[in-house]
Amino acid sequence: MPFPPQEKVPDQDFSRVLDTLASLISQLPSEVPLTSEADTCFKEFLPPFRLDPDYFAKTEDEIATLGEQLERVFGFNTRSSGDGVLTIEERGPGLSAMHDVLVEYYHKYPSNMVHKKWIIDIANAVEQVYVHNNVPVPTRQMVEKRKELDDVDSEVEILAPATKKVKQPHPGGAPENPLLARLITKHVREQGKRYFSCVACSMQRKGNASLDRAVKHALKCKKLEKYDKQLLLDVKAYAGESSLGAQLEDLEETEFGETINGRKKTGLDVAQLRAVGKQKEKKNWEIFQSRVDHAIMRLICVRGLVPNVIDSPEWKDLFALLNNNIRPTSSSTFADKIIPQEAAFVRERMVKLLRDSNNLTLSFDGSSTRHPESFYTTHITTPERVAYFLDGLEWRRGIFGFSPTPSCFVAGLRRAITFSFARVQYDQ
């Protein structure tokens, strides 16, 4: 449900709109790309924020100057053309910083209707992100209740810098995974609340670190390769080996022999035969469960099945009817573990196949999808005319300048430099 027009919101209630907007931003669906401070399109709103001095010198109006800077990000004609709805395509510290700026200037000019309209338009844009990703929009009542809670183990990213960063001492118990220790740094706040951060970029998340969450971020972290190339290779190797595709291959290749504990049995030991039978049955169930999860993963990635459906009571009822012994895997497991690991596995296989091929064609193309956004892709095509996606770039005005294509093309060349090419095609 869209927010009411700014003129219909009483002054005493408008601060609640800002609170609701903050909560909606913090709960944006995981399908929305998480962008670091270095890559956000809202970079100019990061602290310390400054109004554009040149534009302010012309207008001598802070709200007009702020509006100009917002238009640079969202597009100068976005609100006056098409459906008039702003587009938000990322989540993270940049979007939160823009909200902080909106709050600051609202308290400075609480009666300015132009600024209020920007707040309402941005709030509606954030709600549309939920709609476009087929995720239920939290009700205003839910948002207000959530604001009073502080769930330490939440998956929501920390959108404001910590007041004090202290490295968390390692507790007793099982030793920490060595790969996880290389990927993240643990912290505690002054209030004792835990969070962790990426070693290579500014990503921070609440709660206790897990290897799956760390690997999911590392696979798309744009700074990890420059920070530690070997670490990125180790992450890709781990993700590929842990993927369902790799596990299915290993499980199906594993056969139970006719020996028990490495020795052939001449007699008939019923107890041990039963133990082996149970072990084999358990192994078969593991293979079956992996095949089911692999099929669901393909439905999500290839056919567009909405991940939230997996957590619905109807989905669980369906599984209970088909086979009551199967426990449906949660959508968070698919999002944080299964899909990122399978993507790494598929890419590893693709790279191996292309390295063994000759006379490849590297092609680069792109087009405008909706003003002011464009999408550019790099593909590799084999002599059999089979195309493989290598890289992609979403471009917005103000991030890469007026022509993003050369930098994107160079990035594609760097990724493909180990392959054997016969032709390069560049279409702009």
Say how far apart CA 129 and CA 144 lie, in whole Å. 19
Highest mean pLDDT among 55-64, 217-226, 234-243: 55-64
Count the residues in the chain.
428
Residue 265 scores a pLDDT above 50: no
> Hey, is 252 helix, strand or coil?
helix
Query: Exposure of 126 by Cβ count < 10 A (0-12 exposed, 13-18 middle, 19+ buried)?
Result: buried
- List CB contacts of 189: < 8 A, sequence separation 6 or more: 162, 163, 164, 166, 195
What digits encode the pLDDT tens for the residues 345-365?
A: 888 888 888 888 888 888 887
For residue 208, count other CB atoms closer than 10 A to its CB. Answer: 13
Say how far apart CA 20 and CA 172 lie, in whole Å. 40
Residue 43 tokens, joined: 């970079």
Q: Determine the average pLDDT of the residues in 161-182.
A: 59
Rg (CA), the chain: 26
Query: Exposure of 388 by Cβ count < 10 A (0-12 exposed, 13-18 middle, 19+ buried)?
Result: middle
Say how far apart CA 23 and CA 249 lie, in whole Å. 43
According to DSSP, the β-strands at 204-206 and 194-198 are antiparallel
What digits encode the pLDDT tens for the residues 81-135?
A: 545 678 898 988 999 999 999 999 999 898 899 999 999 999 999 998 888 888 8
Between residues 89 and 174, which one has the greater pLDDT?
89
> Hey, is 204 helix, strand or coil?
strand
Q: Which of 4-8, 131-135, 373-377 has the lowest mean pLDDT?
A: 373-377
Between residues 423 and 411, which one has the greater pLDDT?
423
Between residues 139 and 305, which one has the greater pLDDT?
305
Residue 147 scores a pLDDT above 50: no
- The enclosing H or E element of 197 equals strand 194-198
Give CATH 3.10.20 domain extents, the chain: 357-426
Say how far apart CA 180 and CA 410 lie, in whole Å. 32
CATH topology for the 357-426 domain: Ubiquitin-like (UB roll) (3.10.20)
State the DSSP string of 76-138. Answer: TTTTTSTT-------BSHHHHHHHHHHHHHHHHSTT-HHHHHHHHHHHHHHHHHHHHTT-PPP
Residue 409 scores a pLDDT above 60: no
For residue 366, count other CB atoms closer than 10 A to its CB. Answer: 19
Contact 134, 308 (CB under 8 A): yes
State the DSSP string of 353-370. Answer: HHHT--SEEEEEEEEEEE
Only one residue has tokens 């100009």, namely: 68
Write down the pLDDT at residue 401: 44
**Side-chain half-sphere CA neighbours of 388 within 13 A:** 23
Beta strands in 296-420 (DSSP E): 360-370, 373-381, 387-396
> Hey, is 18 helix, strand or coil?
helix
Q: Determine the average pLDDT of the residues in 16-40.
A: 87
State the DSSP code for 199.
Answer: S
Write down the pLDDT at residue 157: 38
Say how far apart CA 390 and CA 347 lie, in whole Å. 9
Highest mean pLDDT among 111-115, 159-163, 333-337, 355-359: 111-115
Average pLDDT, the chain: 76
Between residues 150 and 77, which one has the greater pLDDT?
77
Write down the pLDDT at residue 27: 85
Write down the pLDDT at residue 45: 92
Write down the pLDDT at residue 271: 57
Contact 345, 240 (CB under 8 A): yes
Write down the pLDDT at residue 160: 38
